[in-house]
Every structure is written in C-alpha cells, then in structure tokens.
Amino acid sequence: MQRTILSFVPFTLASLAASQEPAPPAPEASPLRYELPRGWTASPARAGWTWLLPEGASSEAGALRGALVIESALRSLQTPELRSTLEKLVAEMLPGLAWSGEPSTSELGGRPALLARFQSAEGAQPARAAIVHALTTPRGVAVLLFAGDASALAEREPETKALLASLHVVRVAERIAGGKAQRWQTVAFDLPKGWKTQAGDDGALLLLPPGFTGAGEITELYALVGDGSVKALGGAKARRALQAVLDEVQPGLRAKSEEEPRDCGELEGRLQRFAGKSADGRAVSAEGHSFLAPHGACALMALGFPAQLEKRRADLEKILGSLRAEKVSSQAAGDAANELVGRWQYFSSVSLSDGGRATDTMLLLREDGTYLYTSETSSSNPLGGTVSNTRDEGRWSVAGARVTFRSVDGGSKTYALEKRNHPKTGDPMIVLDGQAFVTYFQRAPWRGR
C-alpha cells in the first residue's frame, strides 16, 4: 500500500499500551428472542442447534420439525458459502430435497433476511418440502428451517408464521475471554491477546495486531475513528465521512458494494466494503464497520492487502462483537464539570539572542466526559531547531477541587484544580497543579475570583 498511510498517525512505539483490566469469560447469551406457539417446545441438540418441535411431534420420516441454527462462521447474507450451508442443513433435517427456485429477499425481526424453498422430486409421494429463513445476528447467520411433508407444512403454516412474526434480534456484546478491556470515546471493547492500542490524530485510536512495528511496508491498518456531528448511520453524511477517512489514509479507494446492516456488539452497525490499488498496482481492500455510539457515528476501519486482512478476520470479528456503550453520565460530574467543558490553552515563549523556545498546549474537555490533550514545543539555536509533539486522550472527571484524567493508554493522574481569572484580560482560567490554561473561546469570568 502507499506509504502515505503513515501520515494518518505518527507512530510512537514507546507509547504503545494495553489496558490492564482483564475481560471476563465470554457469556453464552442468545442473540434471538421468539415466542413458541402453544404446545411447541424448544430442545437444544448441540452447540448452535435448537430443535423447534410442534405438539405431538414424532420421529417418523416426514413429520414436521423445525430448527434454529446459528452459523457462527458466517457473518453476511452475501457470503458465497451461505448457499452450500443451507443445502447441508436441509439435507440433515430431511434428505432428498432440492432447491425450488432461487432465494428471495424478505424481512425478519426488522432486518433483511433470505427466504429459500426446497422440495422433493416431482411426482414423489408423499411430497415433502422445507422452508428456510436466514438473517444476520451478533453471533453469526441464524437459520430457521421447517421441514416435513408438504401437507404438514401447510397445516402448521399459521403457527410457523406466528413464530416468525415474534422473532427479534437482541444485540449483545460478547466479551473476549483472555482479552483486555479498552475504552475509547463513549464506547468500550475488548482486544484479543497480543493486540495493543495507540492514540492517533483527531481522536482516532489505532489497534495494533501482534507483531506490528510500524517499520517498513505497512500491509494492514486498523483504527477507530468517529465524527460526533454524524448522528445516524446509512445517510449521505455518514458515507462522506467514511470516504474522507479513506481518502486521507489511502487515496483512490472506492465503495465496491452497497452498505449492509451488521451488528457491532450491542450497537447498531453497517458494513461498507471498498477496493483500490496500491502505487505499484497491487489490490488493496478496506472495510468500514460503522456503528452508532452515544456521542455519534463511529467506525472501525480495516485497511490492507486482502490476504493480510483475512488472516485477522477472526480477531476483527471478536473486537467488533465486544463493542458496547460506556455506562457513563453525559456530564463528567454534574454542574461542577459543566463549568469546565470547553477548550483551554497554554502558551509560553522565550526569546534569546541566539534562539528561543515556544510551547503551545491545548486541553479540550468535552461534555461527554472525554478529553483531548496536545502539546507542541519548538526550539531554535544557531545550529538549527527541533520540534516535539505530545498527544493524549481519554476520560476526565471532577471530584471537588480535583480533576482526574484516565488515558486510553491505561494510565491515570489527578490534578489539584483552581479557577482564576487572568490578571490582565479577566478571561477565565483553570489551573492544574499550578499550570494555568486560559479559555480559547470567549466566556464570562469566574464569579468571585
């Protein structure tokens, strides 16, 4: 891929860190809820397979039986493997059936689904059939099958329709066993063993896989990005924001398919695929896994050479499946914190006859309880000059006269807080352990200061 990918985030490997909070074992929560018709029973048979049996069901050939199967290896209704999977499941329930036409699109539980029909050979007696429904869930593609004699299917049709009408998907975040819990903006997620994070530009968070060094050719990149001004998924504004991120990282990538719904843990999501070429003509792929967080639309961007992305597929799905909203107040700590929300600036400059030094520091305290800190120091002397940059982000909170900052890199620090007004301009300032930050935007002075 193009080396311009490095302009997305300045890699500082010494700052790589993972949260120290371990994730608990993954729960076995079902992503589907439904109501069984009167007299029906649900009987788990094996992992991912549940029999749905009507009253008086028998084991005789042709007796109507239903099944709910979760195919965790399948994540999309567009995957080529879905067709062969449906054939295998139908054959297991009732051998000897063949496709009756092509699958059609439908809707189940408020989300897109596929409807497929199978039947016995023409003239076979008794005539047998299967009706198959498939839809995506947080744990994979769910398949509902009803199979048996055609007459039994027709007789039970009101009951199977009632069951399907009651079906709905529950988004659940699945924790990664042995992973590390992370927090970013207003969401939390888990990282598989060996993965690390690094803060990037404009609030982005890089997710670095095992063995990643940032040196040499970059073959893959994973990053969480967000835009608080986008409040809905699927619209033109959301698509433009996604394309803008890709244009900055790897120019020339374009959408190669329509958006499709997907679950990102407990959050509503969309998947958009992109394709393009590297500078030397090699194929490059990208995926934008968008999700709606409490503070706005976000996306986990996966970019790289196709073969490399596929190697990380299982880990990527685990990360996405663990996404969950942070259970935090919209305020960092009530009215006391509301007074501090905004942009604060510190600037110092020292000039000497043979050079000088200047420091420009910005502290952005957001209402949603997140912060962004940047600092640039430049110095000059007769032999040249240097520039250094520092960046950090995370969550902030107020308790009395103290402010605590918890970095996405895992560390935290508490500062003594004092509110003053600038002695010359009267502009309000916040003073943290003696360092004064003056308001960047115009606001009224602190009262009684």
Give the domain 3-22+174-325 fold: Protein Transport Mog1p; Chain A (3.40.1000)
Q: Are 220 and 229 in contact (CB under 8 A)?
A: no
For the domain with range 334-439, which CATH number is right: 3.60.21.10, 2.40.128.300, 3.40.50.20, 2.30.110.20? 2.40.128.300
- Amino acid making up residue 175: R
Can you give the residue ranges of every domain in the chain? 3-22+174-325, 32-169, 334-439
**Which of 73-77, 124-128, 371-375, 377-381 has the least mean pLDDT?**
377-381
In the predicted structure, residue 407 carries a pLDDT above the cut 80: yes
| Whole-angstrom distance, CA of residue 298 vs CA of residue 269 | 9
**Tens digits of residue pLDDT in 184-242:** 877 899 999 999 998 777 778 899 999 887 777 789 999 998 877 788 888 888 888 88
Give me the pLDDT at residue 5, please.
33
Domains 3-22+174-325 and 334-439 share a fold: no
**Tens digits of residue pLDDT in 279-307:** 889 999 999 999 988 777 899 999 999 99
In the predicted structure, residue 6 carries a pLDDT above the cut 70: no
| Whole-angstrom distance, CA of residue 117 vs CA of residue 369 | 52
CATH superfamily of 32-169: Mog1/PsbP, alpha/beta/alpha sandwich (3.40.1000.10)
In the predicted structure, residue 79 carries a pLDDT above the cut 80: yes
Is-above-0.75 flag for pTM?
Answer: no
Give me the pLDDT at residue 381, please.
63
| Whole-angstrom distance, CA of residue 432 vs CA of residue 280 | 51
| Whole-angstrom distance, CA of residue 449 vs CA of residue 447 | 6
**Which of 156-165, 254-263, 317-326 has the least mean pLDDT?**
254-263
Give me the pLDDT at residue 16, please.
30
Q: Are 151 and 126 in contact (CB under 8 A)?
A: yes
Please give the biggest Cα pair distance in the chain. 103
- Amino acid making up residue 62: G
Number of Cβ within 10 Å of residue 123's Cβ equals: 6
